[in-house]
Structure 1
Amino acid sequence: MSISTEAMGGRLPLMERSSLNEAQRALFDRLTQSVVPWAERAGFASRSGDGRFIGPFNPSLLSPDIAARFLEFQFAEEENSTLSERVRQVVILAVGAVWRSAYELYAHSAAARTAGLSEKAVGTLAKGGVPDELSPAERCAWRFAHQLSADRRIDQAVYDEAEAAFGPLGLADMLLLIGAYQTVCGVLNAFEIPAPERE
């Protein structure tokens, strides 16, 4: 059964640009210029068929000043992270699987496939498992992200393994990434935002 456009907002209506105030329109336009091309490259939908934003982007329009700065943070993380794109996507899917966040898992399953992970590996990660194909560093990143998300703490052995694999800077980058997607998943789950049907 397909999800109607109106249901894509979850507990919120999807906002039209014409109904927004000046700050919201500025964010809408910025999302159009930055997020839409990124989502298209990654292979997932960020807007409905009629051009309204879905996923975490729709609720971001409610608080445009804070959301614009969070978007800056996310782009800074992506552009400056010492983590490989595959490791980043393993971490993001580990967080999303703990939260069982439908849209996040949908979007970053697509991004993970674009980063070179197989369909089987992506499916395993989205269900909270560890695929056989992951490298030792990717497995280490998964353990770190999963344990922090699920248990809200890191065992010394897991910490030591991650520090040896990524160094203090890599750990800091991983923690900032985990924190960003904990926020995204919280927004998605609180507003019960679904994933669109995968084409």
Structure 2
Amino acid sequence: MTPAENTLGGRLLLLAPDNLTSDQHTLYTELKATMVPWAKKSGFQAETSDERLIGPFNSMLRSPLISKALMSVTAAEGAHTELSEKVRQVVILTVGAAWQAAYELYAHVAVAEKAGIDEHKIQLLAAGQKPEGMSIEEDVAYDFTHQLTTTHQIDPTLYERARVTFGEKGLVDMIYLAGQYMTISGLLNTFAVPAPS
């Protein structure tokens, strides 16, 4: 591990693969097989040069059984959502911006680029601003997620717009997705996890 990588755990030490408990090692193996390759493919870093997990994954190792359940929800959301990938990334970046979660924004700027969102729109979303020229679905997803994460209420007019746009299942899917990334952002911010430079 390089000296720069040593700071990537924030308030937590980065756990070495050789020093994990049995439950931690099971989760580590799952994350190495799923999240690390996805991160590489998406264009962001999820491990150090000596294979220590970074981002939310290092903190998740502290509670491996609950974290494994969270990863099951993440997999189910990805497999069964009604939301397009662009809409998903609008939701995730909106949550990350509201929480000012550095690593989350770093990772999902890269994922949003792969999803085909315009770079200028991505930068505005990451800065907590609503871009012009989004699709109807992206526009409604931004408004819904922004209101949910900042005021914690959805006003009747926006609710109706979102229901018409996404249907009831789509609304539930959007709430689940936002909630997952509120949890991830909570982990990142509590442990002051930075984005790699």
Q: Would you call these one fold, judging by a TM-score over 0.5?
A: yes
- Which residue is equivalent to 1:85? 85
CA-CA distance at 1:22 after TM superposition: 0.8
Q: Which runs of 5+ in 1 are unaligned?
A: none
Q: Stretches of 4+ moved more than 4 A in 1?
A: none
Task: Output the TM-score relative to the length of structure 2.
Answer: 0.97
Amino acid at match of 1:97: A
Written as runs of structure 1 = structure 2, the 5 A alignment for 1:68-107 is 68-107=68-107
| 1:34 pairs with 2:34 | yes
Amino acid at match of 1:118: D
- Which residue is equivalent to 2:175? 175
Amino acid at match of 1:150: T
CA distance in 2, matches of 1:75, 1:42: 16
Written as runs of structure 1 = structure 2, the 5 A alignment for 1:7-156 is 7-156=7-156
Amino acid at match of 2:153: R
Instruction: Name the count of aligned residue pairs.
Output: 196
User: SS state of the match for residue 8, structure 2?
Assistant: helix
CA distance in 2, matches of 1:147, 1:137: 15
Instruction: Say what the alpha-carbon RMSD is for the aligned residues.
Output: 1.2
CA distance in 1, matches of 2:167, 2:146: 18
CA distance in 2, matches of 1:38, 1:128: 25
CA-CA distance at 1:54 after TM superposition: 0.4
CA-CA distance at 1:140 after TM superposition: 0.4
Per-residue Cα deviation, 1:82-139 (whole angstroms, up to 9, x for no partner): 1000000000000010000000000111110000012111101000111223101100
CA distance in 1, matches of 2:90, 2:131: 10
CA distance in 2, matches of 1:31, 1:146: 29
- Which residue is equivalent to 2:192? 192
CA-CA distance at 1:50 after TM superposition: 1.8
CA distance in 1, matches of 2:37, 2:143: 31
CA distance in 1, matches of 2:4, 2:157: 47
Task: Output the TM-score relative to the length of structure 1.
Answer: 0.96
